[in-house]
A and B are shown apart, each in its own frame.
Chain A
Amino acid sequence: DAGITQSPRYKITETGRQVTLMCHQTWSHSYMFWYRQDLGHGLRLIYYSAAADITDKGEVPDGYVVSRSKTENFPLTLESATRSQTSVYFCASIPQGGGSNIQYFGAGTRLSVL
C-alpha cells in the first residue's frame, strides 16, 4: 500500500528553468492538493483538483501550473522558476468532497531555486 508519493524528494534548479514536481496516489481519491510550506507562513494552498480534468486555484497560484489527466496523478509545474519559489512542497489527497476531509500528505519535495 504505497499511498501518496512525491518525486523527486529534493531538487535544485536555476532561476528561469521549468520544473515539474510529481504526485501519485494509489487510493483513487477524488481530491488532490498542492501546498507549499515556508517558515513563518505555514501550509499555503497552491492548487487543488476535485477530479480528473477539474482544477482550481488556491491561495498562492501565481507562477504554477497543474494538470490532472488521470485520477492518480497531479503534477505541479513551475514554468519559470524564481528564487521566491524555494520551498517545501506537499501533495495531499482526500477521498471525496464534503464531510470530514482528513488530508493524507506525501513526504514532500524540497525545492531550491538558485
Chain B
Amino acid sequence: SQKIEQNSEALNIQEGKTATLTCNYTNYSPAYLQWYRQDPGRGPVFLLLIRENEKEKRKERLKVTFDTTLKQSLFHITASQPADSATYLCALERDDKIIFGKGTRLHILP
C-alpha cells in the first residue's frame, strides 16, 4: 500500500531563511500531490497542488517541487516569518483516493 513519509521531528528555522519540508512516498506515483497547512486547534487548509507532469509550482513565497523519479516532493517557504509556524501536511491523490502524511511541525524563530 502507499506510504507517505514526512519528517516527524519539528523543524526550527531562523526568520528570513528558507524553510524546506520533505514528503517522500512509496509505490505508485500520485496523479496529484497537495500541501496543506494546519494550525493548532484548526482543520487543515489547502496551500498548493502539483500534478505528476509538473516539476515545480509557485505561489507567492511558497514553492513546491515534484520528482517522480525520487518519489519526493519538497515544499519551500522563502523569507520565512514567525507567522509561518504551523504543521504542514502533504497529501497524495490517485484515482479519487487521498492519503495524508503525518505532517511536519515548522517553527520560525524570530
A101 touches B101 (CB 8 A): no
Residues of B in contact, count (CB < 8 Å): 20
B89 touches A43 (CB 8 A): yes
Chosen A-B contacts, 18 in total, with CB atoms closer than 8 Å, are A35-B100, A43-B44, A43-B89, A45-B98, A90-B43, A92-B43, A97-B96, A100-B34, A101-B93, A103-B36, A103-B44, A103-B98, A104-B46, A105-B43, A106-B43, A107-B41, A107-B42, A108-B41
A-B contacts, CB under 8 A, total: 45
Q: How far does the alpha carbon of A92 sit from the alpha carbon of B89 in the complex, in Å?
A: 15
A12 interface residue, CB < 8 Å from B?
Answer: no
Given contacts A42-B89, A43-B89, is CB(A103)–CB(B46) below 8 Å?
Answer: yes
Which residues of chain A (5-38) have a CB below 8 Å from chain B? 35
